[in-house]
Chains A and B, each alone.
Chain A
Amino acid sequence: MIILHKRETIENKYSRIDDQSTIKDIDNYTLINIYLLEKYRNEIVKKKLKVGLELFSDDNFELTEKNLSIFSMVQINFKTFKDGRPFSFAKKLRKQLDFKNEIRAGGHILPDQYIFLLRSGFDSVEIKKEDKDIWIEILDMDDGLYYQPD
C-alpha cells in the first residue's frame, strides 16, 4: 500500500498496533483504533503523545470528537465506497471542529471519488501501489470547476 497525497506518494510514518497492545506500545505516530482510544485516552493526553487514529465508516464518530489535539492524523476507512458518511465526518472535522492535521482515507474507495475526498477535507488516501496511475489519471481529468464553495 502507498499513501497518495494529492499527486505525490508520501512516506507512511504510522504503524498499526493490535487490540492487545498496552499504553507502553503507544508512541508518537502509532495508529490506534477506537477501542484503544477509549482505553488509553487519558494516558495519551497525559503523556502528550501525538498519535494517529484509525476509524471505519460505521464507527461512532462522536466518540472521537473529544481531545482532538492528540491526533496528528485521522484515517477513515470506507467499509464500502457506497457509504458516504466519511465525507460528512471529514467536513465536520475541518469546518466544525477546526481539525488542522492530516485526514486520510482508506478501505474500499474508488479513484472516481478522489476529488470528492479532497474537497470534503481529506488530504491523502491509502491505496494499492499498482492503482496509483489510475488515481492520478482521474485526478488530472478534474479541471477545478465546482458549483459549491470550499
Chain B
Amino acid sequence: MYKYSKTDKQIVKARTKQFKNQVFRRIKGKLSEEEFKPLRLMNGLYLQLHAYMLRVAIPYGELSSNQLKKLAEIAKKYDKGYGHFTTRQNIQFNWPKLTDVPEILSELAEVEMHAIQTSGNCIRNLSSDHLAGIIKNEVEDPRPWCEIIRKWSTFHPEFSFLPRKFKIAVTGCDEDRAAIKVHDIGLKLINKNDRIGFEVYVGGGQGRSPYIAKKLRNFLKKGDLLNYLEAILSTYNELGRRDNIYKARIKILINELGIEKFKNKVEEKFKKFSNQELIIKKEDIKKIFSYFQLPKLNKKKGIVKNNKDPKYNIWLKQNVIKHKISGYSIVLISLKPLGKPPGDADAKQMKGIAKISDEYSFGEIRVTHEQNLVLPHIENKNLFLVWKKLRNLDISTPNIGLITDTICCPGMDYCALATARSIPISQKISNHFRNIENQKKIGDLKIKISGCINACGHHHVGNIGILGLDKNGAESYQITLGGSSKNDASIGQIVGPSFSEGNLLGAIEKIINLYKKNKKKNEDFLSVFRRIGISEFKKYLYDNTS
C-alpha cells in the first residue's frame, strides 16, 4: 500500500499546524462561526446534533494495521470507544471535543492519516473498489490512479471553494463495486485495442435530485487524466450554480446545460489549455504502481474447505471470496452484527482486526462503501482460525450482501440535518430477518436507509430504499424499489405513500413475499423487480394493506 513521502508528511504536518491556528482564532473570536465553518469542514470537522464529529480520511478505503490500531486508540482516548465506517470508506468519530481535534490530527499524522477534504465544498477523499488489486478479471488496479488524483486534488488552489462538494470514484473492473455512476465523476479503467485508459462518467449523484452519471468520454489516455479532470472542474467552478445550495452540484449544471454543451466546453478547455506539466509521465505512473504491489503471496495448493462447524461453513460461503492468487481468500468482515448499528466498530474490535491482519493478512485492511471491512490476503489454511478470532470479537455475522447487510446513515441519532431516525430502522430490519437460512433464501438484496433527503444512506440506489421523513412531527418512511449502484445503475422508484415506523416492517415483509412468489430459480430481487415492474408491488402492497 502507499507510503508517505517526505513531502506528504510535511504537507499533513503543515495542515495540522494551520488548523490549530484556525481553532485558536475561532476560540479567540477572530474567526466568526460562518468563516470557521468551511475551514473546519475542509478538515473533516462537522457540528452534529449533540457534538462535533470528525471524519477521518481512509483514501480509497485502504488501511494498515497500524493505522487501524491508532483509530482504536483515538476512539478510546477522545471518543466514546467506537468509530463509524461510512459509505465513502472513511471513519467518523461522533464525540470529539473541539479543543482535542488538533491533538487528534497530530496523532493521526503519526500514522500517515488525516481528515483533509473529507468534507466541505472541495474535492473529497477518493473512493474505489474494495477488491482492487486482489480480484481476477481486473483491467488494472485503480488504487494508484486514486493516489495520483488524491495528490492532485489535495489543497488544489483553484478547486478548494467549489459551488458544492465533489466526489470522485475509480474502478478497474467491469463489475462496479465503487458506485461510480452516482459520483460527480466516475472513472472506469478499460482496455481498448490493447491500450488501457479511462471511460469518464460525470454528473451522477444522490441527494434530493438523484441522477445516474452520463458518459463524457469513451476513452481517455492515462497520461491526460489530470488535465481532463482540471477541464471538468474548471468548467464546473465557473458555471456551477451558487444561488441555491440544492442546485449547486455538477449534476444540476449538466442537466440544465445538457451533456453535449457541457462536453464541448470541457473538450475545448482540455484541447486548448492543457498544462504540459500535468501530463502524467510513464515513470511517475510506474513509481506510484510500485507502492501497490501485492505482498509476497506464494501460490498455494490449499483449497477452501468446509469444517464440521456449520456456522463456519455458512460464514465461509457468504463472507469469503476467491483471491486472484490461488491458495488465498478475501475475507469480508460484516460490521452489521444482528441488531447493531451498521458500520460501527468499537476499539476492541478495531484492535482485534488489526492484530488478525498482522498475523494473517500482511497488515492490510480495506473498508467497503457498504460499511464493512476486508482482510485482503488470507491463506486458505488459516480461514478457520481467522473465523474463530472474528467470532470472539463478535464480528463473524455471515450476512454479506444479504437483507441484513444494510447501508444506513447516522440519521437523527446524530445528524443535525436528519428528519427521521435511521439506525433503529436498520436494527429492526436486522432483528426481524435475523434467521440466516431465511436471509439466504431471500438472496442478494440491498436495503439502504437514509434519515433525510440528502441521501447519505444511498436509499436511491437501494434495491429497497428507505427514506425517513418528518410528517407533521411524526417520523414516516418512504419506500423506493429497484435502485442499484452497480454497472446497470438505476434510481429507485417510489412505491407509494410512506409508512409509519410501526407499519414499515410489515410493508418490507410484503415486498419480500411478492418477490418470493415471483422468483424464478436463482433470480435476485432486482431482476424480479425489473421483470414484473413497480405496479405489481404497488398493487400488492397497498391493496393488501387496505
Min C-beta distance of B379 to chain A, whole Å = 38
Proximity bits, B148-160, A CB within 8 Å = 1, else 0? 0001101111111
| Cβ-based interface call for B106 (8 A) | no
B161-A58 in contact (CB<8A): no
Contacts A81-B35, A112-B18 known; A88 to B158 CB distance under 8 Å? yes
Tell me which of B7, B18, B157, B277 has the highest count of chain A C-beta atoms within 10 A of its own C-beta: B157
Q: Which residues of B contact A120 (CB under 8 A)?
A: 157-158
Contacts A91-B158, A120-B157, A149-B277 known; A82 to B30 CB distance under 8 Å? no
Q: Which residues of A contact B14 (CB under 8 A)?
A: 141-143, 145
A82-B156 in contact (CB<8A): no
**Given the complex of chains A and B, what is the CA–CA distance between A143 and B9 in angstroms?**
12
Q: Which residues of A contact B221 (CB under 8 A)?
A: none
B158-A81 in contact (CB<8A): no
Query: Size class of B's contact patch?
Result: 35 or more
Contact of A84 (CB < 8 Å), options: B39, B161, B277: B161
Min C-beta distance of B536 to chain A, whole Å = 48
Contact of B21 (CB < 8 Å), options: A81, A87, A95, A141: A141
A138-B237 in contact (CB<8A): no
**Given the complex of chains A and B, what is the CA–CA distance between A141 and B7 in angstroms?**
15
B18-A82 in contact (CB<8A): no
Query: Majority SS of interface residues in chain A?
Result: helix
Could you name 8 residue pairs across A and B whose Cβ atoms are closer than 8 Å?
Answer: A84-B161, A84-B162, A84-B163, A85-B237, A92-B234, A112-B18, A115-B157, A141-B14
Count of A residues near B, CB < 8 Å? 34
Contacts A84-B162, A88-B234, A143-B10 known; A134 to B273 CB distance under 8 Å? no
Min C-beta distance of A82 to chain B, whole Å = 6
Q: Which residues of B contact A113 (CB under 8 A)?
A: 161
Contacts A112-B18, A141-B17, A145-B14 known; A84 to B155 CB distance under 8 Å? no
B158-A87 in contact (CB<8A): yes
Q: Which residues of B contact A18 (CB under 8 A)?
A: none
Give the residue name and chain of the A residue nearest to B25 (CB): A134
**Given the complex of chains A and B, what is the CA–CA distance between A52 and B277 in angstroms?**
32
Q: Identify the B interface with A (CB < 8 A).
A: 7, 10-11, 14, 17-18, 21-22, 25, 30-31, 35, 38-39, 121, 151-152, 154-163, 234, 237-238, 242, 272-273, 275, 277-278
B39-A147 in contact (CB<8A): no
Contacts A81-B161, A83-B242, A145-B11 known; A138 to B273 CB distance under 8 Å? no
Min C-beta distance of A14 to chain B, whole Å = 25
B21-A147 in contact (CB<8A): no
Give the residue name and chain of the A residue nearest to B42 (CB): A112
Q: Which residues of B contact A20 (CB under 8 A)?
A: none
| Cβ-based interface call for A116 (8 A) | yes
Contact of A145 (CB < 8 Å), options: B10, B30, B159, B163: B10
Contact of A58 (CB < 8 Å), options: B10, B152, B242: B242
Q: Which residues of A contact B273 (CB under 8 A)?
A: 95-96
B161-A82 in contact (CB<8A): yes
Contacts A83-B242, A110-B35, A116-B160 known; A149 to B7 CB distance under 8 Å? no
Q: Which residues of A contact B38 (CB under 8 A)?
A: 81-82
B10-A84 in contact (CB<8A): no
| Cβ-based interface call for A21 (8 A) | no
Proximity bits, A81-105, B CB within 8 Å = 1, else 0? 1111101110110011000000000
Give the residue name and chain of the A residue nearest to B9 (CB): A145
8 closest Cβ pairs, A-B complex: A84-B161, A149-B277, A119-B157, A116-B157, A147-B151, A88-B237, A87-B158, A120-B157
Give the residue name and chain of the B residue nearest to A142 (CB): B14
Min C-beta distance of A103 to chain B, whole Å = 13
Min C-beta distance of A52 to chain B, whole Å = 23
Query: Which residues 104-150 of A sit at the B interface, judged by CB distance below 8 A?
Result: 110, 112-113, 115-117, 119-120, 134, 137-138, 141-143, 145-150
Q: Which residues of B contact A85 (CB under 8 A)?
A: 237-238, 242
Tell me which of B234, B242, B275 has the highest count of chain A C-beta atoms within 10 A of its own C-beta: B242
Contacts A141-B14, A141-B17 known; A84 to B151 CB distance under 8 Å? no
Min C-beta distance of A131 to chain B, whole Å = 9
**Given the complex of chains A and B, what is the CA–CA distance between A40 and B184 in angstroms?**
42
Proximity bits, A64-96, B CB within 8 Å = 1, else 0? 000000000000000001111101110110011
6 additional contacts (CB under 8 A) given A84-B159, A116-B158? A87-B157, A88-B237, A91-B158, A91-B234, A117-B157, A147-B156
Q: Which residues of A contact B158 (CB under 8 A)?
A: 84, 87-88, 91, 116, 120
Give the residue name and chain of the A residue nearest to B239 (CB): A85
B157-A147 in contact (CB<8A): no
B157-A141 in contact (CB<8A): no
Give the residue name and chain of the B residue nearest to A78 (CB): B161
Give the residue name and chain of the B residue nearest to A150 (CB): B277
Q: Which residues of B contact A141 (CB under 8 A)?
A: 14, 17-18, 21
B152-A148 in contact (CB<8A): yes
Q: Which residues of A contact B162 (CB under 8 A)?
A: 84
B11-A147 in contact (CB<8A): yes
**Given the complex of chains A and B, what is the CA–CA distance between A97 and B305 in angstroms?**
67
Min C-beta distance of B276 to chain A, whole Å = 9
Contact of B155 (CB < 8 Å), options: A89, A137, A146: A146
**Given the complex of chains A and B, what is the CA–CA distance between A110 and B21 in angstroms?**
13
Q: Which residues of A contact B30 (CB under 8 A)?
A: 134
Contacts A58-B242, A142-B14 known; A84 to B152 CB distance under 8 Å? no
**Given the complex of chains A and B, what is the CA–CA distance between A110 and B17 in angstroms?**
17
